[in-house]
A = this chain, B = another copy of it.
Amino acid sequence: MEEKKIPYKIYLDEKEIPTKWYNVRADMKNKPAPLLNPATLEPMKAEELYPVFCEELVAQELNDTDAYFDIPEEIQNFYKMYRPSPLIRAYFLEKALDTPAKIYYKFEGNNTSGSHKLNSAIAQAYYAKKQGLKGVTTETGAGQWGTALSMACSYFGLDCKVYMVKVSYEQKPFRREVMRTYGASVTPSPSTSTAVGRKILEEHPGTTGSLGCAISEAVEAATTTEGYRYVLGSVLNQVLLHQSVIGLEAKAAMDKFGIKPDVIIGCAGGGSNLGGLISPFMGEKLRGEADYRIIAVEPASCPSLTRGKFAYDFCDTGMVCPLAKMYTLGSGFIPSANHAGGLRYHGMSSTLSQLYDDGLMEATSVEQTSVFAAAEQFARVEGILPAPESSHAIRVAIDEALKCKETGEEKTILFGLTGTGYFDMVAYQKYNDGEMSDYVPTDEDLEKGFAGLPKVDK
């Protein structure tokens, strides 16, 4: 019985933490479409991006040919604070499901930011520091990214200004407080501190904000303040590059024990976790060295891959950002109150969108009550209270394992457990009280979002 030897948790040795990030774009035949300048509709040049992003991050963003980037030593050192993260064999869950499937998950929640977001936050803060900047600005929805960035900035002594979607700012005071504990300033968005914020407030008095608004404010704050740049926790190619550390570690841990996953599952909002988790596996698939079934899981309430259009769109509501080609619901699409705040983005990483369009991965959507049912089942047997975002992946992993139970197949399932749900107990409470409802946008709802797509003939 080979699998008897596999421990509950596989920890790589500290020396085995990756020293290079892997850039999946290098192995893609169809490269992700370039960012476009919204005024000229021409591909953005590096110099045009410098006012917004740090120079080295721009270089990473635009490079779709180099397969590996060295991880700077200071980032490697910081990674040692909370990495390697464990690859966990879900023995308890397998037993509870009575499935022949072998389930593994890569758990990224064992750090105070509570998620994988720290992997890219520390990289972005490092390059900002290296460029001699004073600070960075960003937006946060659920708060995981803002928390991660606060921790990273605190480490490098950088100022950190976070625009937090107002509804989250009010509903998640504790997330806000963690960011303050790490020295960040947190502003509810939309705010009167930016022109775009004032405009939005004028047009929509009493609005509780959206991720798209908060991005617009953070970009404005960065570009109008000396010594600041904007950083983003998902969607961008650079973020997927940094997050490849998840997949590289997962693959190294599996390789050690000769395990090969049949199915790889991740939740997908902007794509940072899924993109990072699948990168090295997708690389093998692209190079024809191996085949994997890869599934992106998104909320039925914000179904960019499963029901969106593959088109150029704005990344933000204020339309100050470059255009990105992606599966999108339109930058004007307002997702309903779904508790997985981290999955409420109208678009999807250009890289993942291209891979999906090329048929290299699948996508599925799930409704939130079934997601919380899976979360609770998982928490009770595996002992980790998962974030609502991560629980989308759990739902589909359980469903796949139950299919194996029916067919008797001993498939190996790998999914990404991106984080913990300690700051999401309001959502759990609603679920426990039977007050959680599902919402699926109608085709008409979607048409309204699509109507706002910019006219780009590319």
Contact = CB atoms under 8 A, between A and B. Distances in A.
A2 to B, nearest CB: 16
A406 interface: no
Give the size category of A's interface with B.
35 or more
Interface string A370-405: 000000100111111100000000000000000000
Ranked 9 nearest A-B pairs via Cβ: A174-B425, A422-B422, A7-B14, A177-B425, A8-B80, A112-B385, A81-B383, A177-B429, A154-B380
Contacts of A385: 112, 178, 181
Contact of A428 (B110, B151, B155, B181): B181
Contacts of A379: 112, 181-182
A129 interface: no
Most B CB atoms within 10 A — which of A13, A80, A383, A420?
Answer: A383
A112 B383 contact: yes
A3 to B, nearest CB: 14
A131 interface: no
Interface in A1-43: 7-9, 11, 13-14
A111 interface: yes
A389 B155 CA distance: 24
Contact of A14 (B8, B110, B154, B173): B8
28 contacts: A7-B13, A7-B14, A8-B14, A8-B81, A9-B14, A9-B80, A81-B92, A81-B383, A82-B383, A110-B110, A112-B385, A114-B422, A151-B383, A155-B380, A155-B381, A155-B383, A174-B174, A174-B422, A174-B425, A177-B425, A178-B422, A178-B425, A181-B376, A181-B428, A182-B379, A182-B380, A183-B380, A422-B422
Interface in A334-388: 376, 379-385
